[in-house]
């Protein structure tokens, strides 16, 4: 306010001086105009100095001035200096980020909100074949044309990574992960997991080969045990009891081998192209009868059909998955439990639910339930004869049907296993008949 007052007093003083000089010269109007013209010339001169200073950045210090203009120059200079320092810090930060990204062995690609390429590190050039000369500004799907990547990119569900062969070398296996940030921009990261993929393939091959090799001796052993047990009445009681336990464990080994072989087959190809319509009601009725035989009257079963549409997929695989869920409920829910097999709508699609009111599961175990051989209670699982592979099979069957498994449970409150299928796998009866005829 003081500066403004000074400027106003300076303007008033020039006007008054011009007026006095003009009055002495018998031309007061001309004198007033001359005073105002001097003031205007001063301000125009300061504006010209400001323009030259802002235009020619090489001039470090602001022009010399006093009063309001001096204060303005000083404030602009301080602001300009602060901005330069901020820009230098930002440039230094960006440089460190780029240097750290360049040092990474993983590919890092920055995409704008449209999906066009903005920047990438050197690893992306060797891994994805990107070239700065002509790829900058291209849409990512113009360069990564695998239909699975295009579906993954456009679905905008990036919770799980995507595994694909490298676009420039199919012998290499890459894992893609996209993260949304900023104004709907995307950060694409690709990691070379060829070695891990080969190790996983070796593990699957080993398990499949060992399981296959075990089938023949187990079959022979089971056959002889069955023959001996047919004449158990002619053997000493202790020997007959031992043969019975041997047959029980042989059967358990056969179930384990069969589950391992099924799981290995499911892992080879996690996408199912089969679209056979499955009558869910009759399938659940068959599973219920099998579960009642396993239960021996210790559980109550119910089927609830709230959805008229059919499932499209492999009836054999779906029956295997749902049977595993129901048999797990029989084994672990506890006696006198009620087990419900439910087919109902879920949004615009549908889901299969297996619910019991038994002992429940601590939520800490839920994320690991579908791991191979993971047991919530190892002692109880061994006593019930489970193989520890049932939920792993369920997981892979659902993956092949583009579905997901949701588990809701708390100790003492029962458990709910929900299989949610995509809308593409659910069709009305008429559509299902057409798919079957096709």
User: What CATH code is carried by the domain that includes residue 362?
Assistant: 3.30.565.10
Q: Tell me, what's the pLDDT at 435?
A: 47
Q: What span, in angstroms and rounded, lies between the C-alpha atoms of 325 and 30?
A: 103
* Claim to verify: residue 172 and residue 142 sit in the same structural domain: yes
CB atoms near residue 437 (< 10 Å): 6
Read off the DSSP letter of residue 367: G
Contact 62, 53 (CB under 8 A): yes
Same domain, 171 and 36: no
pLDDT at 301: 93
Helix, strand, or coil here: 393? helix
Please choose, from the candidates 78, 96, 98, the residue with its C-alpha nearest in 3D space to the C-alpha of residue 86.
Answer: 78
d(CA 227, CA 351): 45
Contact present, 342 and 353 (Cβ < 8 Å): yes
Question: Cα separation of 221 and 409, whole Å?
Answer: 41
User: Could you give the percent of the chain with pLDDT greater than 90?
Assistant: 15
Q: Is the Cβ–Cβ distance between 351 and 418 less than 8 Å?
A: yes
3-class DSSP state of 211: helix
Number of domains in the chain: 4
pTM over 0.85: no
**Domain limits at 118?**
104-192
- pLDDT at position 89, please? 82
**Pairing relationship of beta strands 300-305 and 338-346 according to DSSP bridges:** parallel
Do residues 180 and 221 both lie within one domain? Answer: no
| Domain harbouring 162, CATH code | 3.30.450.20
DSSP-derived 3-state class of residue 171: coil
For 334, phi then psi, to 5°, come to: 100, 155
Quick one: 73 and 131 in the same domain?
Answer: no
Sheet containing strand 338-346, edge to edge, reads 300-305, 338-346, 349-356, 415-421, 404-409
Q: In this predicted model, what pLDDT tens digit does every residue of 200-246 receive, in sequence order?
A: 888 778 877 877 788 888 888 888 888 888 877 777 877 878 888 88
- DSSP for 287-307? HHHHHHHHHTTSSEEEEEE--
pLDDT digits over 222-234, tens only?
888 888 888 777 7
DSSP 8-state class, residue 416? E
Residues 178 and 205 in one domain: no
Whether residue 181 is found in the same domain as residue 45 = no
Q: What is the CATH number of the domain that holds 246?
A: 1.10.287
Residue-wise pLDDT tens for the chain (438 aa)? 455 555 555 655 555 665 556 555 555 665 556 555 666 666 666 667 766 766 765 456 666 666 666 667 677 777 777 777 877 888 777 677 667 667 678 888 889 988 898 888 888 888 888 887 778 888 998 888 888 899 899 888 888 899 999 888 888 999 999 999 888 889 999 999 999 888 888 877 887 787 778 888 888 888 888 888 887 777 787 787 888 888 888 888 888 888 888 777 777 766 666 778 999 999 999 999 999 988 888 899 999 999 888 999 989 889 999 999 999 898 888 888 999 999 999 988 999 999 998 888 888 888 888 888 777 765 555 555 567 788 888 998 998 888 999 999 988 888 999 999 998 888 875 555 444 444
Q: Are residues 349 and 421 in the same domain?
A: yes
Residue 137: count other Cβ atoms within 10 Å of its Cβ: 10
For the segment 129-146, what is each residue's pLDDT rounded down to a tens digit?
888 777 888 899 888 888
Q: Are residues 78 and 136 in the same domain?
A: no
Domain boundary among 171, 192, 213: 192
User: Domain end: 174, 192, 210, which one?
Assistant: 192
In sign, the C-alpha dihedral spanning 283, 287, 288, 293 is positive
Angle (CA) 293 296 298, round 5°: 130
CB 417 within 8 A of CB 397: no
Residues 6 or more apart whose CB falls under 8 angstroms from that of 244 comprise 229, 232
pLDDT at 58: 47
Which H or E element spans position 134?
Answer: helix 132-135
39 and 113 inside one domain: no
Q: What are the two backbone dihedrals, phi and then psi, of residue 45, each rounded to the nearest 5 degrees? A: -65, -40
Backbone region of residue 336 per phi and psi (left: phi > 0; alpha: psi in -120 to 50; beta: other values): left
pLDDT at position 33 = 64
Residues of the chain with pLDDT > 70, as a percent, come to 76
- Asked if residue 363 and residue 283 are part of one domain, the reply reads yes
Shared domain for 57 and 133, answered yes or no, is no
420 and 280, same structural domain?
Answer: yes
**Boundary (domain end) residue, out of 224, 240, 268:** 268
Q: What are phi and psi of 156, to 5 degrees?
A: 65, 25
Q: Check if the beta carbon of residue 329 is closer than 8 Å to that of residue 354.
A: yes
Looking at residue 438, what is its pLDDT?
A: 46
Q: Which residues 6+ apart lie within 8 Å of 339 measured at CB?
A: 291, 299, 300, 301, 302, 326, 329, 330, 333, 354, 355, 356
**Phi–psi pair at 189, nearest 5 degrees:** -120, 135
Closest to 211 in 3D by CA, of 255, 247, 248: 255
């Amino acid at each position: 306010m003081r500066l403004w007052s000074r400027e106003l007093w300076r303007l008033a003083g020039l006007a008054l001086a011009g007026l006095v000089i003009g009055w002495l010269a018998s031309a007061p109007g001309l004198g007033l105009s001359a005073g105002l013209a001097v003031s205007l010339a001063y301000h125009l001169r300061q504006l010209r100095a400001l323009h030259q200073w802002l235009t020619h950045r090489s001039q470090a210090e602001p022009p010399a001035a006093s009063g309001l203009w001096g204060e303005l120059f000083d404030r602009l200079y301080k602001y300009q200096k602060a901005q330069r320092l901020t820009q230098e810090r930002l440039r230094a930060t960006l440089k460190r980020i780029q240097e750290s990204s360049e040092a990474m062995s993983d590919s890092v690609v920055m995409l704008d909100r449209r999906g066009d390429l903005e920047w990438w590190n050197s690893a992306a050039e060797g891994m994805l074949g990107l070239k700065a000369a002509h790829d900058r500004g291209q849409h990512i799907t113009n360069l990564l044309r695998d239909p699975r990547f295009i579906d993954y990119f456009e679905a905008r569900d990036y919770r799980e990574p995507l595994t694909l062969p490298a676009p420039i070398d199919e012998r290499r296996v890459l894992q893609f992960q996209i993260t949304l940030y900023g104004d709907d921009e995307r950060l694409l990261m690709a990691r070379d997991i060829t070695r891990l993929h080969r190790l996983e393939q070796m593990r699957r091959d080993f398990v499949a080969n060992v399981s296959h090799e075990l089938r023949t001796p187990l079959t022979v052993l089971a056959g002889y045990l069955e023959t001996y047990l047919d004449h158990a009445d002619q053997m000493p009681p202790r020997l007959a009891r031992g043969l019975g336990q041997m047959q029980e464990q042989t059967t358990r080994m056969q179930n384990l081998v069969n589950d391992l072989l099924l799981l290995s087959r499911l892992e080879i190809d996690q996408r199912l192209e089969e679209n056979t319509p499955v009558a869910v009601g009759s399938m659940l009725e068959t599973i219920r009868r099998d579960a009642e035989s396993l239960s021996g009257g210790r559980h109550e079963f119910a089927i609830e059909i709230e959805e008229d549409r059919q499932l499209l997929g492999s009836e054999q695989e779906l029956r295997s998955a749902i049977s595993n869920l129901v048999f797990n409920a029989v084994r672990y829910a506890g006696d006198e439990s009620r087990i419900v097999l439910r087919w109902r709508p879920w949004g615009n699609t549908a889901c299969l639910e297996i619910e019991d009111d038994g002992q429940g599961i601590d939520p800490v175990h839920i994320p690991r339930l579908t791991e191979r051989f993971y047991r919530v209670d190892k002692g109880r699982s061994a006593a019930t004869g489970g193989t520890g592979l049932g939920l792993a099979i369920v997981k892979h069957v659902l993956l092949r049907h583009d579905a997901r498994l949701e588990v809701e449970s708390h100790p003492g409150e029962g458990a709910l296993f929900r299989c949610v299928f995509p809308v593409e796998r659910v069709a009305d009866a008429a559509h299902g008949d057409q798919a079957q005829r096709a």
